[in-house]
Structure 1
């Protein structure tokens, strides 16, 4: 729309190439995996049933022998590392400017391929085992003559759904067009490159319409879209029919308890702090604000089930129109134990106007707090049947006896997680919510115009939330990222160009500030906002706040600003001191001093609990999945050594690499054995 209304900016027959961030770590890792797959000569077949052992009523779901041997073989990995090294040499200059690439990165990725391959299979395993367990469970109900006829009828329906899901996962017919075709599946899991479908999607099971010979299928959506589109009791339209999200596919689990998590979110800046009762945090890591009580019962939304609905009530329609209250929070990635982000100051004549914080591959959560239209604004989440996975119906919904709930329910808060390049914009002076909402729309649209992005490639959210707008969060929504937000921080005149583009979009002359009142080809004047400047489908909730007149002076000021980029925010010395403070013995402090003396990479965490193994390693390199134990004299006793062996086995089964430094060992030799973890030093 922008360029069609500005034909002078279009050249007939010329198409701008898509922008891809060549220094995106996930993207490069996926290409390294593809190189390895070619070197290994491992065919993935058409379905993961050709890779995993699914035999029997209680299948082990492990890799088949020939697949495991191919994944663990060393010669293909060595050839892949040599080939990938040659490829990476072509972007050496770009990699040198990234904040994640190290000389040992490639070797680490190749060595980690067996674990990465296993992890990529987990979603398929979970879907298969959940469907298999449901089919087996409902079959027992059907064969139990003591159960009421209504229970057996319900069980037959649930078993049919489960069997249909199993067929979708395993049948080869038309599977090449399916989301579960092996190569497409591994691309969607981020193990292989994939640009034409979403990475790490959420899937909704759509039952076929029997009387019209409809086919069962899974419908996939990017997770940040699915948190609302596939939200509890949401309505989706597919091939002319209406379906309601009535159930979650619960992962197969050994215990009856539902796995949930907790987090604290800064009320001032929206920064995310994963929470553990054993390690409470009272102050925000980013801004130092006092943190409030944690958000508990956070439930990671993965895959859902739908059922067909012929009609919906007026109350349902109104709730669906207003949608959900979605809260987006952010946490910067950690490199070398420190938050990894770059800071830039936007200044005019030496006076600070705004601050920019760019984070590469930052962790973003989108949390569904509940319906926007709900009576108690302080009550968050939805009621979930933790045995069958049904979402509780609203009291005002149509009479529907198709989703009988068991007594075992819990209130949970669905959320999704992903890693995105992001930019936080904070202004030096306080701005009211109308100005912030208008700036959010103007800056987003201006960046899209300057860097020729599609609307779907860039997203913008207020921080910490819509009711308290203190900053603007921008993140690259396209797969792989376009790399434009990094350029906003790196280019000295980027902010000036974006501000001028925003002025032009808002119908102002960027040189004089004169109000032109309308877009070049528009027939009507724009008073506050229109679809040529600020309004769009994605910001409908903000339409009443938008007013282009409120931001003209600030945009004129920004158009005369330049950018000063600062180094990393937290110095190494401060991080080292934090690790020393958490150390539990002098031996651990001596080990840290060795790393400091040799200028080696510091661990990211100290004394962090690994829940699945109930162990607290002395130090963690969390990004590399490495746990370090510094063992003193008590570990020389046989009973303690046996416990250490059990802990090591559990950690390795969970995907961790365990490195032990005994008090009698030569620590320098151990360090030299792992250059991809500790670095090469000075």
Structure 2
């Protein structure tokens, strides 16, 4: 119906993306950009600095992804709109390759000498003379590069480029003369020799388009040597994103080869330099289509070698006319490139009444409207910018972004005064119209004069909706609240069909389980700490003796905590607190509770030891960083070490120093993960309702451009097992970081010797109920009594506490959802044992026909979750991942070809795991006929029911 055909070898994802892919990031970006454009219109009546929008999402990394997506989408759209404007200005004459940079510069308005315009693309807007001329020359080269790069085939899935929309027409100068030159084809393949000039023109258009769209182009701005020079000048002169960022790696020109090396014999990096042009390539399949040969089907009977010779004949004839060039390559085979001087760009003119299979009215209008806005002397487009505001962002940056978002007179003065510091941390001092936030923004950050709120997904509960939507309209004005309902989310679709249940839903009081032992203990330990009457230093490093290998508490603090008055006062206060919750601490609800006096004495007696052990995670992180620093130094000082190993050691040494500094710097902000009181809350020693308990941490290194500083990201450990899993991507501050290693302390591996092995465990999982048994002595399942003779055995189980990442790629408008590796995870449990008996309460659920479900409830059960490997792994019997037991580096996946540390030697298989204590209910249906699909449906129905009834996130 639409006239579009798919190649025979295309993947299902490619074929069906337009039907099943949702594009939530693009939808959010378009909605936000449209709202901003409306607010800047004459009809909005809004003052300049009230034209802003606050966006919410439930996941911190989604906030980072969305901010990066918005900025990249806008940047790419401006590049395309600029090129469209340049073509409109050029008229029928069109644009040659050597005119692209200057025409693009003029269309974007970057030739204007005003300070505001120069501040958009220049790092130093006050540049003059030769420095300014060099900067403008560099800008023109970069803009020309970006125009060529934007023509790449298939690199933008959801937002088509100008050529796909028919807004630009590409012509090849001299192609008709080449096709008519019979002399060049006298010795060519018979089919080519006897083809009409019209047939040859069609064939050459396909051939030259293939070269151009796969970047096999001979152009100065795509030459790898020249690109290196452009990148160096860009870093010192041009602001990102118009200039190249430090983490951006421009791709140079490729070579097309008719007889390319086999894929198995080449690395991924080598393959990136090669465009295949043989009979079996995409080009070969296209040239075999009879439609290009006036319906002559003889071309399909040409054998592969003969067809390769035909393509070679075409290339040699094109080289004789100067359209392509033959070059030597590092692969011992000649390569071909399209000469950029042969390319002419003209404004596209779609035929009236003819509907294209790639027609997209939205993007045609978007680029046209943006081009018209760029042509105006004054427009708001360069001010459109988004930033993330989550707990992943350090407190200083969050405070700056709040000032930029409010941007009142006071904030403008403060930002102007802080201009030098803002440059150091990579923040601008101009108005910020868009903030994408995680739910932390609900907690009371003052945002005034806000008119629009956007939610990237339907919030979990009406209470969340009320909090987020209530950010707008606080000054008494009307406000707009946009909520995007994901088609892939049953939760979103449920409330899309019944929006009143969310918008006007009942906000229920939060539920607290006052019989939860961890909750009670953390509050009682807070009471004990207050009785010490000794203020804790904000920096953890000041509380420990760092010169002692064990890092014990400093003596003055221990002495203060051991005073007799502390225990006496704490016991008295703790008893009063326990009296307040006595109704909940019954034998039925809290079997762990030993009575008011006994329990108060126990808390006071063990509090000091628990307080010290709460810093074990910090000690492990510090020891791991020290070990990384010392190991790197040994390699750096080893005269026999290869150059590559020394360079890698220098990087590891610098990162280790950064980690040590970060761990010791707890005073910079109350929101620092290592601010003493916040840290104690995350470790469960103190109450911490807003922080994940016992989280898994991921170290993110600083970026080369200074925009991103080193930090630790936290996630609840059960989520982090997959989100921070081996080789997975973590999104933060406009970049994606790859998890490359587990942070191991010396205590976990005993010694840093080459033959060391990490201490692992084995678990037997009951096939009847799923209970786990780490004890080799048991022969019967402790939960259901079944024999463990047929239990599933998982070996090499290793507990992961912290991981480290390295920069992987920029977030672009292609990233609709976070890239996630599909891990096979399994959850198992162990009931708690109290007074030598298993602490579990059994029950049943019945209907009129009898019992249908068996229930077992265990307070404080130990839950273990295992990561058994990638779902797509070839050998399902091999569980886990390979790791270097000395450095902690994970083995890279087969489809990766990144810069792995040359000293890493992943050789030990482990199954990563995390563990925590939680109240658990084992739900066992008694109907043996239920299939695995039925059980999964029942499980999800129970989960959604609990979330809906109790309004849980």
Cα pair distance change 1:350/1:179, threshold 3 Å: same
Encode CA deviations 1:186-239: one digit per residue, 9 max, x unaligned. Answer: 010000000001010011010111124321100011000000000001111111
CA shift in 2, pair 1:400/1:284, >3 Å? same
Matches within 5 A, 1:398-547: 399-407=897-905, 409-430=907-928, 431-454=930-953
2:670 to 142, 164, 176: 176
User: Offset of 1:349 from its aligned partner?
Assistant: 3.8
Q: Which residue of 2 aligns with 1:54?
A: 546
Instruction: Tell me whether 1:87 sits opposite 2:577 in the alignment.
Output: yes
Do structure 1's residue 281 and structure 2's residue 778 form an aligned pair? Answer: yes
1:125-151 Cα offsets, whole Å, 9 max, x none, are: 010111112112212221222322222
Q: CA deviation at 1:20?
A: 1.1
Q: Does 1:363 align with 2:862?
A: yes
How far apart, CA to CA, are the structure 2 residues paired with 1:318 and 1:47?
A: 37
2:627 partner SS: helix
Correspondence for 2:405: none
For residue 381 of structure 1, the aligned residue among 877, 880, 883 is 880
Residue 203 of structure 1: aligned partner = 697
Residue 146 of structure 1 aligns to a residue whose secondary structure is coil
Kept in 2, the 8 Å contact 1:322–1:373? The answer is no
| Matched ranges for 1:68-87 at <5 A | 68-87=558-577
Structure 2: state its 5+ residue gaps.
1-457, 463-494
Residue in structure 1 matched with residue 508 of structure 2 by the alignment: 16
Specify which of 627, 649, 671 is matched with residue 133 of structure 1: 627
- Contact 1:271/1:331 (8 A) holds in 2: yes
Structure-2 residue corresponding to 1:543: none
After superposition, the Cα gap between the structure-2 partners of 1:91 and 1:319, relative to the gap in structure 1 and judged at 3 Å, is closer
Q: Does the residue aligned with 1:92 lie in a helix, a strand or coil?
A: coil
Distance in 2 of aligned mates of 1:319 and 1:414: 22
Residues 381-400 of structure 1 show CA distances to partners (whole Å, capped at 9, x for unaligned) of 00000111100012332x22
Specify the SS of the correspondent of 2:652. helix
The equivalences for 1:38-437 within 5 A come to 38-55=530-547, 59-96=549-586, 97=588, 98-103=590-595, 104-172=598-666, 174-253=668-747, 254-255=750-751, 256-276=756-776, 280-291=777-788, 292=791, 294-310=793-809, 321=820, 323-349=822-848, 351-397=850-896, 399-407=897-905, 409-430=907-928, 431-437=930-936
Secondary structure of the residue aligned to 1:112 is helix
Aligned-partner SS, 1:117: helix
SS across alignment from 2:854: strand
2: CA distance between counterparts of 1:338 and 1:391? 41
CA contact (8 A) 1:71 1:113 kept: no
Q: Give the alignment's TM-score, normalised by structure 2.
A: 0.45
Q: 1:100·1:335 contact (CA, 8 Å) conserved in 2? A: yes
For 2:902 and 2:523, how far apart are their aligned partners in 1?
47
Give the conservation status (yes or no) of the 8 Å contact 1:341–1:360: yes
Q: Give how far 1:152 is off.
A: 1.4
Q: In 2, distance between residues paired with 1:318 and 1:202? A: 22
Which stretch of structure 1 is more off in the superposition, 284-293 or 329-338? 284-293
Q: Normalized against structure 1, the TM-score is what?
A: 0.62
**Distance (Å, rounded) in 2 between the aligned partners of 1:394 and 1:213:** 29
* Structure with the higher fraction of residues in helix conformation: 2
> Deviation of residue 15 (structure 1)?
3.5
**CA distance in 2: counterparts of 1:220 and 1:44, whole angstroms:** 23
Q: Is the 8 A contact 2:783 2:831 kept in 1?
A: no
TM-fit CA distance, 1:284: 1.4
Change (3 A) 1:17 1:383: same
Offset from partner CA, 1:396-417 (integer Å, 9 cap, x none): 32x2233225457210000000
Contact 1:362–1:420 (Cα < 8 Å) also in 2: yes
Measured after TM superposition, the shift of residue 343 of structure 1 is 1.1
Task: Please state whether the residue corresponding to 1:68 is helix, strand or coil.
Answer: helix
- Structure 1 position 174, deviation (Å): 2.2
- Structure 2 CA distance for partners of 1:175 and 1:159, relative to 1, 3 Å: farther
1:319–1:373: 8 Å Cα contact kept in structure 2?
no
Please report how far the alpha carbon of residue 348 of structure 1 lies from its aligned counterpart in structure 2 after TM superposition: 2.5
CA RMSD between the two structures:
2.5
Q: Return the alpha-carbon distance in structure 2 between the equivalents of residues 402 and 189 of structure 1.
A: 33
SS, match of residue 585 in structure 2: helix
Partner Cα distance (2:886, 2:848) in 1: 63
The whole-number CA distance in structure 1 between the counterparts of 2:945 and 2:881 is 38
Question: Residues 575-614 of structure 1: matches in 2 within 5 Å?
Answer: none
Q: Shift in Å at residue 14 of structure 1?
A: 6.8
Normalized per residue, the structure richer in strand is 1
Distance 1:212 1:39 in 2: 44
Contact 2:881–2:909 under 8 Å retained in 1 = yes
Listed one character per residue, the Cα deviations across residues 43-92 of structure 1 (whole Å, up to 9, x for unaligned) are 2211111110013xx64411110111123333212211110111111111
User: Measured at CA, do residues 36 and 375 of structure 1 come closer, stay the same or move farther in structure 2, by a change above 3 Å?
Assistant: same
Name the SS for the 2:705 alignment partner. Answer: helix
How far off its partner does 1:330 sit? 1.0
Aligned partner of residue 722 in structure 2, secondary structure = helix
| CA distance in 1: counterparts of 2:950 and 2:817, whole angstroms | 38
1:342 & 1:416 partners in 2: Cα distance?
25
1:147 is paired with a residue of what secondary structure?
coil
* Gap change, CA 1:65 and 1:392, over 3 Å in 2: same
Return the alpha-carbon distance in structure 1 between the equivalents of residues 498 and 734 of structure 2. 37
| Structure 1 outlier segments of 4+, above 6 Å | 7-14, 316-319
- Deviation per CA, 1:475-534: give whole Å up to 9, x if none: xxxxxxxxxxxxxxxxxxxxxxxxxxxxxxxxxxxxxxxxxxxxxxxxxxxxxxxxxxxx
